[in-house]
Amino acid sequence: MSQTQRETRRPGREPASEQAVLAAEARLGVRLPPAYRNFLLTSNGWTTIGRLDLLGAEEIGWFPDLDPGLLEAWESAGFPDVTGTLERSLLITNDDGGSGGHWLLDSGRVAEDGEWIAYEWWPGEGGDLEEHDNFGDLVARAVEASS
- Per residue in 37-55, pLDDT tens? 999 999 888 876 667 889 9
Q: What is the pLDDT of residue 78?
A: 85
Q: What is the pLDDT of residue 129?
A: 92
Q: What is the pLDDT of residue 110?
A: 97
Q: CA 110 to CA 133: how far, in whole Å?
A: 10
Q: What is the pLDDT of residue 58?
A: 97
Q: What is the pLDDT of residue 143?
A: 78
Q: CA 16 to CA 39: how far, in whole Å?
A: 9
Can you give the length of the chain in residues?
A: 147
pLDDT tens digits for range 105-118:
999 999 999 999 99
Class level of CATH domain 3-146? alpha beta
Q: Strand, coil or helix: what is 26?
A: helix
Q: What is the pLDDT of residue 81?
A: 87
Q: What is the pLDDT of residue 97?
A: 66
Q: Which residues contact 80 (CB under 8 A, 6 or more apart)?
A: none
Helix axis angle, 68-76 to 80-87, nearest 10°: 160
pLDDT tens digits for range 46-100:
876 667 889 999 999 999 999 999 999 988 988 888 899 999 999 999 886 666 8
Q: CA 136 to CA 38: how far, in whole Å?
A: 10
Contact 36, 57 (CB under 8 A): no
